[in-house]
Structure 1
Amino acid sequence: TPPVVTLQLAGYEAALPVSEKSNPITQELDWANPMQVVQLLKECDAKIFQEEEEALLNYKRLYSQSVLETMTDIISKAQEVLKDPENGLIVLSGSGTSGRLSFLIANSFNKLLKGLGQLPHYTYIIAGGDSTAAEQLLLSPYKKSPKARWKRTLGLVRSCRNHTKPSPPAVGVGSAPHQPWSPQGWHLIASLGSSLHFTRLFLIFDGPEGIRGFSWMKGGSATKILLEMVLLAAHKVSRESEIQKSECLVEILRTYERAHTVICAHSRKIAALVKGAGMSTASEGLYMVGWPMLGLIEIMNDVECIPAFGADSKDVQGFLIGDHNDTFNKEMDLIAQGPQFAFSQEDFVKIILPSLTELNSVLFLFTLDNDLAEVEKLVIQVKEKTSNIQALSHATVGQYWLASLRKLFPAIISIMWPILFRDYEGNFIQKFQQELNTKWILNTVSPRAHILKGKILCNCMVDLLIGSSKLFWRAVSILQRFTGHSQARCLDSLLQVICDSEVLLDDLCNKEISTHILVATEKNKVIGI
């Protein structure tokens, strides 16, 4: 029986954004065994698909009528660009989780266009510039503003000012523009003022995260689903004009909902993966090697854990196997960034493979569309160093494993997908579902690993890296939650630790929060719990 922990939830949580609230479903997550972790987080994710009449009135989810209507409007704007690709550009933009998902989805839809024999007209912007993007994901420099030759843009970017017909919708998932928690994106919207006419601004609240504040989990999944739904529907309707936009949206959303039920059949195997991976992470480290695009999902999951859990970059390391020349911006030399940005197959073979031991675990992520002979070759190399290997694979009905490859793995999570759509866009829906299911599974691995490392109390991260204003105020609220003291007193306590001072002098109190964040970023421990 878990010990009774006095939680001071009344009052102060009402002022927090939804994503920062405590989820009652996972209040005892830190005492859950691997199977319970899988079940509890699966229950949290199911809220994404909750029908409007079943949901709380102040939570707008993907099935909410107002959200579906807004998405229908955005489809029309996207269609304008798709009908005039020579003069159109679709820009996906964001910071942190949103920026990483912008990268992933822009790449996916450019591949869709390539398969149709069309030039790419999706691009992305990750806030923060070259170094921030490299540190966050190893994926993207700050893309320059779209050139003046584009007559229409669809996206949330400052460069919309320079275009004759910008149509930028602003989308928020999980957090409202509420001080002092306002994400930087909301400040950007306010600063642009009347210079941009936003097509629509809408928010989705899918309820508190399973791990308080870890917006990569449910918020990231909802963002991925939303963007893929809108853009897939835009492509589908552009090619088949008789299709109703709203019906197309709901049809695609239903397939994502069915995808969530797929993992139920694999709960026991996922729990075994969670147990083994968690133990490796808590001891010598877990390595994940994935083929595109699952490899990108795996790397994004690893990177999200660093600020959220105060994780070491070596706790879980992801590597992208195979050719990815068409994935990254060619103008960025990732190798020149240094060994801390190692992520390629060559990096894994040269740096990691020689030092593997039986204390390490390696998880392989791939689909049966990948080069299975290449997978087998790498598995054989790894198995010479450690027997702790597992596979997470996706296949479509009619595809089969190589018998020799299957024999190499002591544990396999093999997800078989039915053929739902026979058209071109339908094939991409299935790829997106595979990515999302991979994300859901990895979202269960990370919390269990960090529970074992003592970084989660109840369902709250207590060892986070204070590297932004959002994380700064989260640290204050964590102290409020577990002490019951006022925000002012908890703020003073936090600043005392950051400034290494038992007494807060006026000059310290009057400094900008950003100044304290710069100091806190360099400290190993800040939250005194």
Structure 2
Amino acid sequence: MPSTKRFQHVIETPKPGEWELSGYEAAMPITEKSNPLTRDLDKADAGKIVQLLGQCDAEIFQEEGQAMPAYQRLYSESVLTTMLQVAGKVQEVLKEPDEGLVVLSGGGTSGRMAFLMSVSFNQLMTGLGQKPLYTYLIAGGDRSVVASREGKEDSALHGIEELKKVAAGKKRVIVIGISAGLSAPFVAGQMDYCMDNTAVFLPVLVGFNPVNMARNDPIEDWSSTFRQVAERMQKMQEKQEAFVLNPAVGPEGLSGSSRMKGGSTTKILLETLLLAAHKTVDRGIAASPRCLLEILRTFERAHKVTYSQSSKIATLMKQVSTSLEKKGRVHLVGWQNLGIIAIMDGVECIHTFGADFRDIRGFLIGDHSDMFNQKAELTNQGPQFTFSQEDFLTSILPSLREIDTVIFIFTLDDNLTEVQTLVEQVKEKTSNIQALVHSTVGQSLPAPLKKLFPSIISIMWPLLFFEYEGNFVQKFQRELSTKWVLNTVSTGAHVLLGKILQNHMLDLHIGNSKLFWRALALLQRFSGQSKALCIESLLQAIHFPQPLTDEIRAAPISSHIQVAREKKQVIPVALVSLLSRCSIPTAQARVAAAPSVCEAVRNALAGPGRKRGAEPLEASRPAVQ
């Protein structure tokens, strides 16, 4: 499938792929499809995993193909035009900041990205002597930034209540709602509320599915589906009373794992349009397509620079996998905003891979007093909510073991004396230390610090001659680069541990309605059984040892999710039960006896009498309330 490239690119993007064909997994939205590039991800070694995930990340920058349907992409004229229109609306608020506000909102990864970007742009404004204009909302509040609380995004009313609080007294509020799959009720409610109150609010929806693929299931506490909300926004976009920014960037390298491309594209898209707004507002001119393209190319360059370190990324992946295999812990210790990226990566492993919160954890070194809306929410909340420098020194450092791995993430502009002191303290406990270091041409790591690390991923950036706002481009590049490295390492480590079947997360934690439906789709895909049988098996695995009654079967999805949150290995157990036609206790025993959850499923797939292949996934949802 040829593509007609209109722009000069920094990197070579993959050619338009099989996933763009109209018949490919037709019932699935793009963000839930499996990526043909990675269909054998579970058979890949560390080097190949880095290569494949790097190719998937490069798909972000693809232009439109000539396949039908032709999905709009990041570089499509329609997307660039909408970005400029939104940038213009942001400029209007920047010109009258006293009565205005820009709210970035989302659940899970999207909410953490909202947090990161609001912190960044408030730092930019403070540095210019301007009053900070940004705030963030994340489903479940500040605790969801540093801990996995994915279920909080299922309430539309919760989203509206939180929005009303932060917008009180403001006369012009731009609300940028982020939902990679166009699926989170938390965001849907906010967008609907904004459309009902356009005198004050301007809603901007960001996601990576076409609107006709937005989630269409009923929302338990709201009258509209997400798709209906998005369709209404499209109509209002004609009058610039709402905007939808939804370029397709292809399926995730790990099916449905929107923490990866979804999170990265959110950062690229919004930082590009917001930075363009800030760069041009003082000159009294509108942001231009050229300005957008210049910034987008710097993010392409970040991809090239990052994946030039592929062999060292693969080495780090193997080290992390070895620590986890030995029941060790992995600690990601990042300075300043790179610490936020570290926290995000660790938290997201919990629901993505069914990991324990202690397996991979991020820590932020540096002052974070002005970052959070409600810092009190994070005080004395227990070990799951520890993330600060003090937490690392008091809770982690004393108990470090040789089987643990600690990764230090910093730039050569950080306090290197502080870095060296902490590295020396850690090295007394474990020799498994690694560094991810960002520098600019002309900078070099001091020899005493360099010799402390057995291995260093050193990423050097070219000098950029920009005005103050433009200097943030390099900051954003470093953050994105760090995200790509950590996502690739933590994902690859779990692939090597046998947590992935083909390119599917088999042991994900069912923490919200999106993940419930994904679990059901996995059972259908690999068992080939009817929807009714798959629902029955899933509910049995969730509620065991309680027998399934008609009352339980008829309960709303939220009640099943509430029980599932406390359970482990629900999907592998349900799948083995389906494939082997055995009871839940027998399936649990088989999963426990296998070297990994995927081996347990492979054994069941290879069992006698197994029907080969799975029936196509149907578009309609099963009749679960």
- Which of 99, 118, 138 lines up with 2:130 in the alignment? 118
Residue in 2 aligned with 1:145? 165
| Preserved contact between residue 127 and residue 133 of structure 1 (Cα < 8 Å) | no
| Structure 2 CA distance for aligned equivalents of residues 259 and 183 of structure 1 | 41
Q: What is the Cα deviation at residue 64 of structure 1?
A: 1.3
- Which of 232, 235, 250 lines up with 2:275 in the alignment? 232
Residue in 1 aligned with 2:102? 90
| Structure 1 CA distance for aligned equivalents of residues 374 and 517 of structure 2 | 38
Residue in 2 aligned with 1:78? 90
- Which of 491, 498, 503 lines up with 1:459 in the alignment? 503
Which has the higher mean CA deviation after the structures are superposed, 510-519 or 468-477? Answer: 510-519
Tell me: CA distance 1:181–1:108, structure 2 relative to 1, closer, same or farther (3 Å).
farther
Secondary structure in structure 1 of the residue aligned to 2:203 = coil
1:443 lines up with 2:487 in the alignment: yes
Q: What is the Cα deviation at residue 31 of structure 1?
A: 1.4
| Preserved contact between residue 214 and residue 227 of structure 2 (Cα < 8 Å) | no
Letter aligned with residue 255 of structure 1: T
Residue in 2 aligned with 1:512? 556
Tell me: CA distance 1:200–1:464, structure 2 relative to 1, closer, same or farther (3 Å).
same
1:179 lines up with 2:216 in the alignment: yes
- Which of 226, 245, 266 lines up with 1:223 in the alignment? 266
- Which of 153, 162, 174 lines up with 1:154 in the alignment? 174
| Structure 1 CA distance for aligned equivalents of residues 403 and 318 of structure 2 | 14
Secondary structure in structure 2 of the residue aligned to 1:204 = coil
Residue in 2 aligned with 1:4? none
Residue in 1 aligned with 2:427? 383
| Structure 1 CA distance for aligned equivalents of residues 533 and 166 of structure 2 | 47
Tell me: CA distance 1:108–1:450, structure 2 relative to 1, closer, same or farther (3 Å).
same
Which has the higher mean CA deviation after the structures are superposed, 308-317 or 242-251? Answer: 242-251
| Preserved contact between residue 279 and residue 452 of structure 1 (Cα < 8 Å) | no
| Preserved contact between residue 174 and residue 219 of structure 1 (Cα < 8 Å) | no
Residue in 2 aligned with 1:205? 248
Residue in 1 aligned with 2:46? 34
| Preserved contact between residue 137 and residue 299 of structure 1 (Cα < 8 Å) | no
Deviations 1:309-338 (A, max 9, x none): 111111111111122212223552522212
Which has the higher mean CA deviation after the structures are superposed, 29-38 or 516-525? Answer: 516-525
Give structure 2 stretches of 5+ with no counterpart: 1-21, 151-157, 178-189, 576-625
1:402 lines up with 2:437 in the alignment: no
Q: What is the Cα deviation at residue 23 of structure 1?
A: 0.9
Tell me: CA distance 1:342–1:129, structure 2 relative to 1, closer, same or farther (3 Å).
closer
| Preserved contact between residue 181 and residue 470 of structure 1 (Cα < 8 Å) | no
Tell me: CA distance 1:126–1:313, structure 2 relative to 1, closer, same or farther (3 Å).
same
- Which of 99, 102, 115 lines up with 1:103 in the alignment? 115
Deviations 1:155-187 (A, max 9, x none): 154774667332222222247313349899984
Q: What is the Cα deviation at residue 501 of structure 1?
A: 7.2
- Which of 445, 448, 472 lines up with 1:428 in the alignment? 472
Give the alignment of 1:458-477 within 5 angstroms: 458-477=502-521
Greater RCO (CA < 8 Å, at least 6 residues apart)? 1
| Structure 2 CA distance for aligned equivalents of residues 24 and 235 of structure 1 | 39
Tell me: CA distance 1:509–1:437, structure 2 relative to 1, closer, same or farther (3 Å).
same
Residue in 2 aligned with 1:479? 523
Tell me: CA distance 1:258–1:243, structure 2 relative to 1, closer, same or farther (3 Å).
farther
Residue in 1 aligned with 2:3? none
Give the alignment of 1:3-82 within 5 angstroms: 13-53=25-65, 57-82=69-94
Q: What is the Cα deviation at residue 458 of structure 1?
A: 1.0
Letter aligned with residue 213 of structure 1: G
- Which of 205, 209, 226 lines up with 1:170 in the alignment? 205
1:338 lines up with 2:373 in the alignment: no
Q: What is the Cα deviation at residue 137 of structure 1?
A: 8.0
Letter aligned with residue 466 of structure 1: I
| Structure 2 CA distance for aligned equivalents of residues 199 and 148 of structure 1 | 20
- Which of 508, 528, 538 lines up with 1:494 in the alignment? 538
Deviations 1:211-270 (A, max 9, x none): 011001011111110110110000112123457521111111111111111123211111
Which has the higher mean CA deviation after the structures are superposed, 162-171 or 245-254? Answer: 162-171
Q: What is the Cα deviation at residue 434 of structure 1?
A: 0.4
Tell me: CA distance 1:55–1:410, structure 2 relative to 1, closer, same or farther (3 Å).
farther
| Structure 2 CA distance for aligned equivalents of residues 271 and 12 of structure 1 | 31
| Preserved contact between residue 309 and residue 457 of structure 2 (Cα < 8 Å) | yes
| Structure 1 CA distance for aligned equivalents of residues 230 and 93 of structure 2 | 23
Tell me: CA distance 1:359–1:129, structure 2 relative to 1, closer, same or farther (3 Å).
closer
Tell me: CA distance 1:243–1:203, structure 2 relative to 1, closer, same or farther (3 Å).
closer
Residue in 2 aligned with 1:5? none
Secondary structure in structure 2 of the residue aligned to 1:60 = coil
Residue in 2 aligned with 1:418? 462
Q: What is the Cα deviation at residue 134 of structure 1?
A: 5.8
| Preserved contact between residue 102 and residue 125 of structure 1 (Cα < 8 Å) | yes
Tell me: CA distance 1:503–1:317, structure 2 relative to 1, closer, same or farther (3 Å).
closer
Secondary structure in structure 2 of the residue aligned to 1:136 = coil
| Structure 1 CA distance for aligned equivalents of residues 84 and 169 of structure 2 | 27
Tell me: CA distance 1:388–1:520, structure 2 relative to 1, closer, same or farther (3 Å).
same
Secondary structure in structure 1 of the residue aligned to 2:540 = helix
Secondary structure in structure 1 of the residue aligned to 2:104 = strand
Give structure 1 stretches of 5+ with no counterpart: 1-9
| Preserved contact between residue 93 and residue 102 of structure 1 (Cα < 8 Å) | yes
Secondary structure in structure 2 of the residue aligned to 1:336 = coil
Count of equivalent residues: 518
Secondary structure in structure 2 of the residue aligned to 1:14 = coil
| Structure 2 CA distance for aligned equivalents of residues 48 and 269 of structure 1 | 23
Tell me: CA distance 1:219–1:333, structure 2 relative to 1, closer, same or farther (3 Å).
closer
TM-score (norm 1): 0.91
Letter aligned with residue 457 of structure 2: I
| Preserved contact between residue 124 and residue 143 of structure 1 (Cα < 8 Å) | no
Which has the higher mean CA deviation after the structures are superposed, 189-198 or 400-409? Answer: 189-198
| Structure 1 CA distance for aligned equivalents of residues 230 and 43 of structure 2 | 46
| Structure 1 CA distance for aligned equivalents of residues 66 and 455 of structure 2 | 38
- Which of 317, 320, 324 lines up with 1:277 in the alignment? 320
Tell me: CA distance 1:434–1:58, structure 2 relative to 1, closer, same or farther (3 Å).
same
Q: What is the Cα deviation at residue 149 of structure 1?
A: 3.2
| Preserved contact between residue 282 and residue 315 of structure 1 (Cα < 8 Å) | no
